[in-house]
C-alpha cells in the first residue's frame, strides 16, 4: 500500500503486520533512547483542519522518534483562511517534496481525494464520519496486549455511533479479525443500515454489555450533529453513561476504553475512567505513538522501494 486511508482496504495480514511492528516500537518508546532511523532523510507534514490533541501530538512524536523532519502546518493561520482550496493547498505543499502527509479534515472523503493529487504517502488522521484508521489500529493493539489475542472477543462500542469515524474504523477492523461487535446506543444515534456490517445492535446498556470482553465508550460528537437530535447530558448519562452498575454486566475482567477526548459525567463516570484495574485509556494513548511509528515506517519502506511518479 502507498497510503493509509482507511481500514476498509486492509487485509487482516496487513493489520497484523502493523500491530507486530508497533509492538516493537512500544519497547523502544519505553526505553531510555527513544530514537530510530526508519524515517531519516524524509519529510513529514501534518495538516490538521480539525482540532486534535492525541492524534496530532502522537504523529509528531512518532515522526521525530523515527528521525523525520516534521512540520506542523498551523491550518488556522494558513491561506485556507484566504479562500485557497484544500487541493490547491495540498499541491503547494506537494511542490516542497514531502514524503509523508498526515491529514485530518471535517469532510468524509477529503483525505482520499487529496491522496490522488499528491505524489507522497498520505495518512488519514480522521475524515468526517468516514474513517480514523490509526485510532482503530491503536485500539486493536491495546486490546491484543490486554487480552492476549485479537479474535473471538465480544466487543461493545457504546454511544454516538452515527457520527463516529472511530466506531466505523473499529467495526471494520474488529470484523476483519473475527470478533463479535455489539453497538449500544440510542436509536437516534445509530446509523441506518448498520446491521449490514455484521454487528448486533442494542439500545439498552445492561443487555448489550452482558458478557463482553471489551467496552469502548464514545463521546457525543455535537460538532457533527448539525441541528439534529441532541440528547440532554443528564438523561444521556442516566441511560448510556458507563458507571459501575452498568459495567457490572460485562465480564469481570472486561477492559474499558475511550478514544478521547472524554466528557466525564456524560458518557463515562470519572472513577471508571481512572480505575487502573479496568480502564486502559492511558495505554491507548501510549499505543497511539507506537502504531503511528509502525504505519509511517511501513509506508516509508514502500516509498523507498518504488521510484515515485512525477506529477504534472
Distance CA 74, CA 61 (A): 17
Judged by beta carbon, residue 91 or residue 285, the one nearer ligand CP is 285
- Out of 43, 44, 46, 55, the only residue in the binding site for ligand CP (CB under 6 A) is 55
CB of residue 135 to ligand CP, shortest distance in Å: 5
52 binds ligand CP (CB under 6 A): yes
Judged by beta carbon, residue 187 or residue 261, the one nearer ligand CP is 261
Residue 221 assigned as binding residue: no
Applying CB under 6 A, which part among 49-57, 168-176, 180-188, 210-218 lies near ligand CP?
Answer: 49-57
Distance CA 151, CA 141 (A): 12
User: Which residue is closest to ligand CP by CB?
Assistant: 55
CB of residue 276 to ligand CP, shortest distance in Å: 20
Other CB atoms within 10 Å distance of the CB of residue 90: 25
CB of residue 55 to ligand CP, shortest distance in Å: 3
Applying CB under 6 A, which part among 51-59, 70-78, 147-155, 183-191 lies near ligand CP?
Answer: 51-59
For residue 101, CA distances in Å to 18, 33, 59, 169, 310 come to 18, 26, 11, 20, 17
- Out of 87, 260, 263, 264, the only residue in the binding site for ligand CP (CB under 6 A) is 260
Task: Give, in degrees to the nearest 5, the angle at Cα 110 between 19 and 112.
Answer: 50
Which cell numbers hold the place of 93? 505543499
Distance CA 81, CA 72 (A): 17
Which secondary-structure segment (H or E) carries 69?
strand 69-73
CB of residue 301 to ligand CP, shortest distance in Å: 25
- Out of 1, 41, 53, 195, the only residue in the binding site for ligand CP (CB under 6 A) is 53
72 binds ligand CP (CB under 6 A): no
Residue 82 assigned as binding residue: yes
Report, in this order, helix, strand and coil percent for the chain, each rounded to 5.
45, 15, 40
Site for ligand CP in 230-259 (CB under 6 A): 259
Judged by beta carbon, residue 43 or residue 135, the one nearer ligand CP is 135
Show the site string, 116-155: x = touches ligand CP by CB under 6 A, - = not.
----------x--------x--------------------
Residue 55 assigned as binding residue: yes
54 binds ligand CP (CB under 6 A): yes
Judged by beta carbon, residue 144 or residue 292, the one nearer ligand CP is 292
CB of residue 195 to ligand CP, shortest distance in Å: 26
Judged by beta carbon, residue 135 or residue 179, the one nearer ligand CP is 135
Distance CA 267, CA 37 (A): 41
CB 95 within 8 A of CB 86: no
Beta strands in the chain (DSSP E): 43-48, 69-73, 100-105, 121-127, 154-158, 180-184, 200-202, 214-217, 255-257
Other CB atoms within 10 Å distance of the CB of residue 4: 28
CB of residue 138 to ligand CP, shortest distance in Å: 9
User: What residues does 255 pair with on adjacent strands?
Assistant: 214
Residue with grid cell 445492535, as numbered in its chain: 201
CB 135 within 8 A of CB 169: yes
Residue with grid cell 507522497, as numbered in its chain: 120
264 binds ligand CP (CB under 6 A): no
> What number of residues does the chain have?
312
Residue 219 assigned as binding residue: yes
> Could you list the residues that contact ligand CP (CB under 6 A)?
52-55, 126, 135, 259-261
Amino acid at each position: 500500500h502507498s497510503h493509509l486511508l482507511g481500514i476498509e482496504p486492509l487485509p487482516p495480514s496487513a493489520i497484523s503486520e502493523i500491530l507486530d511492528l508497533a509492538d516493537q516500537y512500544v519497547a523502544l518508546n519505553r526505553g531510555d533512547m527513544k530514537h530510530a532511523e526508519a524515517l531519516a532523510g524524509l519529510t513529514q507534514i501534518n495538516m490538521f483542519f480539525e482540532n486534535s490533541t492525541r492524534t496530532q501530538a502522537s504523529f509528531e512524536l512518532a515522526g521525530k522518534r523515527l528521525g523525520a523532519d516534521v512540520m506542523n502546518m498551523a491550518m488556522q493561520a494558513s491561506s485556507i483562511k484566504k479562500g485557497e482550496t484544500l487541493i490547491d493547498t495540498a499541491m503547494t505543499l506537494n511542490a516542497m517534496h514531502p514524503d509523508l502527509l498526515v491529514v485530518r479534515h471535517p469532510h468524509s472523503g477529503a483525505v482520499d481525494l487529496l491522496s490522488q493529487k499528491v505524489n507522497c504517502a498520505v495518512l488519514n488522521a480522521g475524515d468526517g464520519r468516514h474513517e480514523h484508521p490509526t485510532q482503530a489500529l491503536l485500539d486493536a493493539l491495546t486490546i491484543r496486549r490486554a487480552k492476549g489475542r485479537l479474535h473471538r472477543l465480544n466487543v461493545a462500542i457504546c454511544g454516538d455511533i452515527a457520527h463516529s469515524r472511530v466506531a466505523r474504523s473499529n467495526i471494520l477492523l474488529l470484523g476483519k479479525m473475527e470478533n463479535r461487535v455489539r453497538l449500544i446506543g440510542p436509536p437516534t444515534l445509530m446509523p441506518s443500515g448498520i446491521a449490514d456490517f455484521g454487528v448486533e445492535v442494542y439500545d439498552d446498556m445492561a443487555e448489550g454489555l452482558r458478557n463482553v470482553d471489551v467496552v469502548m465508550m464514545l463521546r457525543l460528537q455535537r460538532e457533527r450533529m448539525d441541528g439534529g437530535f441532541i440528547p440532554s447530558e443528564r438523561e444521556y448519562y442516566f441511560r448510556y453513561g458507563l458507571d459501575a452498575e452498568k459495567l457490572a454486566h460485562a465480564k469481570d475482567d472486561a477492559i474499558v476504553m475511550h478514544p478521547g477526548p472524554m466528557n466525564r459525567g456524560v458518557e463515562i463516570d470519572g472513577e471508571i475512567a481512572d480505575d487502573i484495574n479496568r480502564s486502559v485509556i492511558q495505554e491507548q494513548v501510549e499505543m497511539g505513538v507506537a502504531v503511528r511509528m509502525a504505519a509511517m515506517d511501513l509506508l516509508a519502506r514502500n516509498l523507498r522501494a518504488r521510484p515515485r511518479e512525477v506529477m504534472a
